[in-house]
A and B are shown apart, each in its own frame.
Chain A
Amino acid sequence: AQSVAQPEDQVNVAEGNPLTVKCTYSVSGNPYLFWYVQYPNRGLQFLLKYITGDNLVKGSYGFEAEFNKSQTSFHLKKPSALVSDSALYFCAVRPYSSASKIIFGSGTRLSIRP
């Protein structure tokens, strides 16, 4: 079955420290991978994507993600967290066979303390 997993419901980090939000996937073929962020009472905002090429992808708001094919992971990272980064983060994958559908993870709530 094709799926994406975010093993942590909540991640707590002190402001200024590096952060990592984990994501693993299980799809056949070469996946397209995405990260989204959701602030309270808002829709999801696209952060970054990996399709091919360099395994380290840079996105909005200073976030980056590393594609690791052998570990089937696509962890989201930021070198120095801000309180304003506190939000709900979703990892998503588009199976190669899908024309338009993408599969979302269950979300990880990131909390940055001052």
Chain B
Amino acid sequence: ETGVTQTPRHLVMGMTNKKSLKCEQHLGHNAMYWYKQSAKKPLELMFVYSLEERVENNSVPSRFSPECPNSSHLFLHLHTLQPEDSALYLCASSLSGQGGSYEQYFGPGTRLTVT
């Protein structure tokens, strides 16, 4: 148990559906991240939020829309996805900035399958 929870753990959705992934951290961290992990590919950083402000968006298609309502919660809203979006989506958090320890703590991931 890392202190970062993700729901749902598994999700199957059609290309026309809209769904959301949820992440919650109980560690008092001030930065949160979304990563995509596909088979045979390196870990891809999608979004970074620091102090609830998006500080990085790595050319992610607009069908992925992040939301960070407060420092403990992070969402990834999904709509009109493609089969190649099927992957493990990982959320992470860290304590960044002056005095921060910087290591990221990861949730267990959501295994997404787009049909």
**Residue positions of A touching B, CB distance < 8 A:** 32, 34, 36, 41-46, 49, 51, 90, 94, 99-102, 104-107
Count of interface residues, chain B, beta-carbon cutoff 8 Å: 26
Distance, CA A107 to CA B50, complexed state (A): 26
Q: How far is the CA of A99 from the CA of B101 in the complex (A)?
A: 11
CB distance from B50 to the nearest CB of A (A): 5
Complex Cα distance, B4 from A95, in Å, reads 24
User: Of A41, A42, A90, A94, which is within 8 A of B102 by CB?
Assistant: A94
Q: Can you list 7 pairs linking A and B with CB atoms under 8 Å apart? A: A32-B102, A43-B2, A45-B106, A49-B101, A100-B55, A104-B45, A107-B43
**Is B105 at the interface (CB under 8 A from chain A)?**
yes
- Besides A43-B6, A105-B42, 20 more A-B contacts (Cβ < 8 Å) are A41-B109, A42-B109, A43-B4, A43-B90, A43-B92, A43-B106, A43-B109, A44-B90, A45-B106, A46-B103, A46-B104, A99-B55, A99-B96, A99-B97, A100-B31, A100-B50, A100-B96, A102-B102, A104-B42, A104-B45
User: How far is it, in angstroms, between the C-alpha of A44 and the C-alpha of B105 when the chains are bound?
Assistant: 8
Interface positions of B from 66 to 95, Cβ below 8 Å from A? 90, 92, 94
User: What residue of chain B has the Cβ atom nearest to residue A51's Cβ?
Assistant: B102
Whether, in the assembled complex, B48 has its beta carbon less than 8 Å from a beta carbon of chain A, the answer is yes
Closest-CB distance, A98 to chain B (whole angstroms)? 9
Query: Closest CB-CB distance, B49 to chain A, in whole Å?
Result: 9
Please tell me if the beta carbons of B43 and A90 are within 8 angstroms of each other in the complex: yes
